[in-house]
Structure 1
């Protein structure tokens, strides 16, 4: 059903840094939407190339649609929040400058959000090679039922960490608590965790609406050591907010921390052969146990809970067993082989 909108319904924020090669494609895709009630807020994050010139050209040509914020380089976290401050829409979405969207992206996302009164609306996407355009995979393109985190909090665990395949109620984001030390990686995960305590409804479009570009160097899943400390610090800050304002969600938070620290981070670290993985894994495990201790006894990782809830998060339950049996390094070796040689990835 087509919905007639009044004024700006959706603000799409596009953070830009060294984006001169591909930002035009991104903006063209947003300008070709099947509805008109959207605005495009481009935040130039101190790009040293000609990105700002391209953005200003679009702003001059499409002054009714495109707005440009030019700021010094402070990273994507602050770029997004500056865009949020300027957003006029009832909903806010984020698209990376090197990605682009399907023509019905805004219409389907808005219709779904409005029909379900969803705080977060999620769409599917396809991973594409930046150089060849070959589609590696299509993900989250199967329709799922909308859910309330209050009634089914475990569903939050399975939401992918990216913000670029979602739109959010603007009021939700504008009232979001922030942290003093956002990380330079995993910003999306931290951002979403800050929102979860106030989320009342999550909905899915079941449609593939975004083309996510994979660069040649994207396969290098390494993390700098200083960035690990940033992640610890950021997640600890967010947990403190939960401890003060959402104590009933602490077990859920620690479960999500296990997913990202115990599995995702360790996987990325395992790809760097120069690191002393044994000592780093030990430290990572110590941080998990000290800062996020509820993961060990989390009801969301119990067999009985998994069975009762239709085998929800069963892969994470298996990983908990592997982790506790000290089989993580062997598993990660097999996992890397599956990804690199067999082109098989596991979606947690």
Structure 2
């Protein structure tokens, strides 16, 4: 590397093939030039390795990392972090896109407002980058100095993804060795974020939508059975309880509450308990981890939070006012 990058962007890759090129080009076309792009090939079996090497050959700011054994997206990110050199760290998934001003805006916000983490908005888009719906959106930009970890645990900053954030190196570096006893393929980014937001003293929420999240209806993640999603999220909760139990009872209770909320979402609600019986080994493994650290968490995770109660009168008034506005009477 012949320059000192301001930002290292980690891109984990597994069998991305030619579709990787447009995503990497979105980084190469950034208005901020001083970006180190670390592409980690997680032992792909397609053409990804040659695609990555060609990109690195043509662009001096691309650092290729090739893993000999497929370890999953979390370990691939850790391998990229170990190679990073910049004072700020960002992420991009291999099929998503960074808008041209994304990292310049994130970095300027981080410096101008003197914060540890910057979070921006993201849109769900098709493969052709046609907007489907917002994925993360903030009504206004805001510097957060109080209750940052509480608000993170309440999902006020999004659901825990890494790719719409910029991290000060000192905030994320303590978690460069956050290894898990098993391969965690769901919620692994939230686990990294727990550590980062616990460390952070200040956060900036950027109202600009600077990231495109490509929604592939045929992807394995999109079609994962609810029973498997529940089991993998329960296992993530076990890892969170195990890895962060040393942060104190108050912090641990917030983390457990966060997973209680997540497991209450419809996409994790298993209608028939028999559907998860085939995952007995995985559930037992996770339960043993929780039991070793904080057995009471088993009961706490099972206690689902109540859904929010909406005042019917206020809801009807709001609907009435919206109707009047729609027909031009307000």
1:235 positional shift: 2.1
Give distance in 1, aligned partners of 2:194 and 2:173.
Answer: 15
CA displacement, residues 220-260 of structure 1 (integer Å, 9 cap, x when unaligned): 352464x6555434422322343322332122112101112
Does residue 1:113 correspond to 2:114, yes or no? no
Give distance in 1, aligned partners of 2:231 and 2:153.
Answer: 25
2:212 maps to what in 1?
211
- Mean CA deviation greater in 251-260 or 32-41: 251-260
2:9 maps to what in 1?
12
1:240 maps to what in 2?
242
1:184 positional shift: 1.7
1:265 positional shift: 5.3
In structure 1, list runs of 5 or more residues that go unmatched.
1-5, 298-315, 323-348
- Residues 90, 198 of structure 1: CA spacing in aligned structure 2 closer, same or farther, 3 A cutoff? same
Q: Please tell me whether the aligned partners of residues 125 and 132 of structure 2 are also in contact (alpha carbons under 8 angstroms).
A: yes
Local SS of the residue matching 2:198: helix
- Residues 275, 248 of structure 1: CA spacing in aligned structure 2 closer, same or farther, 3 A cutoff? closer
Query: How many residue pairs were aligned?
Result: 287
1:84 maps to what in 2?
81
1:340 maps to what in 2?
none
1:140 maps to what in 2?
137
- Mean CA deviation greater in 257-266 or 104-113: 257-266
2:313 maps to what in 1?
none
Q: Please tell me whether the aligned partners of residues 149 and 156 of structure 1 are also in contact (alpha carbons under 8 angstroms).
A: no
Normalising to structure 1: TM-score of the pair? 0.73
2:297 maps to what in 1?
291
1:301 maps to what in 2?
none
Does residue 1:48 correspond to 2:45, yes or no? yes
1:75 maps to what in 2?
72
Q: Please tell me whether the aligned partners of residues 140 and 206 of structure 1 are also in contact (alpha carbons under 8 angstroms).
A: yes
In structure 2, list runs of 5 or more residues that go unmatched.
311-330
Does residue 1:95 correspond to 2:92, yes or no? yes
Give distance in 1, aligned partners of 2:213 and 2:148.
Answer: 32
2:261 maps to what in 1?
259
1:180 positional shift: 3.0
CA displacement, residues 105-162 of structure 1 (integer Å, 9 cap, x when unaligned): 11001011122222221111111122x5431112315323221354772354222221
Give distance in 2, aligned partners of 1:317 and 1:231.
Answer: 17
Give distance in 1, aligned partners of 2:194 and 2:240.
Answer: 7
CA displacement, residues 74-103 of structure 1 (integer Å, 9 cap, x when unaligned): 100000001011111111111001011111
Give distance in 2, aligned partners of 1:48 and 1:224.
Answer: 29
1:186 maps to what in 2?
187
Q: Please tell me whether the aligned partners of residues 112 and 204 of structure 1 are also in contact (alpha carbons under 8 angstroms).
A: no
Give distance in 2, aligned partners of 1:126 and 1:231.
Answer: 24
Q: Please tell me whether the aligned partners of residues 40 and 66 of structure 1 are also in contact (alpha carbons under 8 angstroms).
A: yes
- Residues 279, 321 of structure 1: CA spacing in aligned structure 2 closer, same or farther, 3 A cutoff? farther
Give distance in 2, aligned partners of 1:169 and 1:292.
Answer: 34
Give distance in 2, aligned partners of 1:296 and 1:118.
Answer: 36
Q: CA RMSD in A?
A: 3.1
2:123 maps to what in 1?
126
